Structure 1
Amino acid sequence: MTLSQLDDTDLIDLIAQRNETALGELYDRYHRLIFSVALSVVGRQEEAEEITLDVFTRVWEKAHTYRSERAKVYTWLTRLARNRAIDVLRQENVRPMKYSVSWADVWPEPPANSDPPESAVQMTLQKQRVRQAIAILPNTQKEVLALAYFKGYSHSEIAQALDLPLGTVKGRIRSGMQKLRDLLQDE
């Protein structure tokens, strides 16, 4: 059986036995998630990259303390990332931004000569309208919409990451989308 076929808990057990290849496999599975969580809290890419490395260093050091009956590996890693990111902000004496997103980064700019100039202008205006509508939303709705639609998290992943009930996450997404529809139809 290869490492890629093992479940997360088995990988943690191997890491506790100082298996570097198992750590590499766990990193391959979760580094993007850890980076996203860290970036959502600190808001700066360089620090999020450092936090990601710190989390996997901590996994290497503390794998023997992991208890599968207390939390899934996914949840454990997410909490390690969030807590480490908050620690970084505390050291800087800054309040956490929680799961914020730079809405300017949501849509990449189109490649040159991809569409007629009129289409590019139309698209730019549409993006601006959406960003303005998003800015009006309450932060609680912004964060769940960002995680769901721009980070690709499932509802249950958002609930775990934000430590919220699943129903609350679904409600915030539904009400946020409805408010966006209303705001964009009014224009």
Structure 2
Amino acid sequence: MATPQENLLDWLRDAHAMEQQAEKMLKAQSERLEHYPELKARIDQHIQETLGQQNLINECLSRLGGSSSTIKDMTGKLMAFGQAVGGSMMSDEVVKGAMAGYVFENVEVATYTVLIAAAEAAGDTQTKTACEQILPQEEAMAKWLLEHLPEITKAFVARSDDPNLEAKK
């Protein structure tokens, strides 16, 4: 059996690894985007949000006497690297990347929803507040991606149909 505090600490480590993965994934995607400036700008904005989220999670971990998990962090970064390499090999990289981003953002939304409830159960108002700060950023990014998927898709299809344009990235 684990106490509410132990569960919270474990899930904060998971969140830390998830944010490490998000940073690597977003940076790889941003570096490759050339023909979709609005998507690139929104990803770059979310990279800055992600760095702030990492700081908030680190503060929570430190305050609770814990630290991040090197194994979880490395696994997350390795997964992000695999996603970046795999994505770069697809002819429709930008569309698949936007779809994957939307899915990932929803995993983050679920994670912070769980962390808020866990912090409340553990009586940790500071962690709850930190996660309540992060959650709307993740929700906003997921919403932005969902709303822009049709536009990204149409831009890709139009570029793909033109032999003089590159559509992939």
Instruction: State TM-score, norm by structure 2.
Output: 0.30
Larger radius of gyration: 1
Is the helix fraction higher in 1 or 2?
2
